[in-house]
């Protein structure tokens, strides 16, 4: 049993970093919001923004554990809509697992308007989207 979820952080064409949570998938939207808020000054710097988001998603006491969270280059086990941080386009959106290509967000993917937010909008949401 778990609460599996993923965040894809898109750096550019075919460049993606994926965060996986085994037990905290339903809280990923809130953790992402905190990371995006904290990284406001680095929204245009993919390496620093990625580090800041990871630092807010993975709890401090979990870094040395062998379970709970993972970092990859593609989707891992999943039970929720996938959150995508699209750094080149300065937006967050959700995507269904069935819409992925080879377990990754397709290059040039166009999300539904109701499922995407600018970084500014996402970081100011009072209630993050449920995934």
Q: Pick the closest to residue 35 from 21, 18, 13, 55 (CA basis).
A: 55
In the numeric block, which tokens belong to residue 115?
């499922």
Question: Mind listing the pLDDT tens digit of every residue in the chain (131 residues)?
Answer: 689 999 999 999 999 999 999 999 999 999 999 999 999 999 999 999 999 999 999 999 999 999 999 999 999 999 999 999 999 999 999 999 999 999 999 999 999 999 999 999 999 998 888 76
In the numeric block, which tokens belong to residue 80?
């929720």
Average pLDDT over the chain, rounded to an integer = 95
* Residue keyed to tokens 């891992």: 76
- Say if residues 103 and 74 touch (Cβ distance below 8 Å): yes
Query: The pTM is what?
Result: 0.95
| pLDDT score, position 131 | 61
Q: pLDDT of 17-32, one tens digit each?
A: 999 999 999 999 999 9
Round to whole Å and give the CA distance between 111 and 15: 18
- List all residues 6 or more positions away from 1 whose beta carbon is below 8 Å from its beta carbon: none
Round to whole Å and give the CA distance between 60 and 15: 26
- List all residues 6 or more positions away from 64 whose beta carbon is below 8 Å from its beta carbon: none
């Amino acid at each position: 049993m778990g609460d599996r979820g993923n965040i894809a952080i898109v750096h550019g064409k075919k460049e993606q970093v994926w965060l996986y949570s085994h037990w905290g998938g339903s809280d990923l939207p809130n953790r992402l919001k905190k990371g995006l808020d904290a990284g406001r000054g680095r929204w245009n710097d993919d390496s620093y923004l990625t580090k800041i988001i990871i630092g807010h998603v993975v709890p401090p006491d979990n870094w040395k554990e062998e379970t709970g969270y993972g970092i990859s280059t593609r989707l891992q086990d999943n039970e929720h809509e996938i959150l995508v941080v699209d750094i080149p386009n300065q937006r967050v959106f959700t995507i269904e697992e069935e819409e992925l290509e080879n377990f990754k967000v397709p290059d040039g993917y166009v999300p539904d308007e109701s499922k995407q937010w600018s970084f500014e909008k996402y970081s100011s949401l009072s209630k993050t989207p449920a995934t």
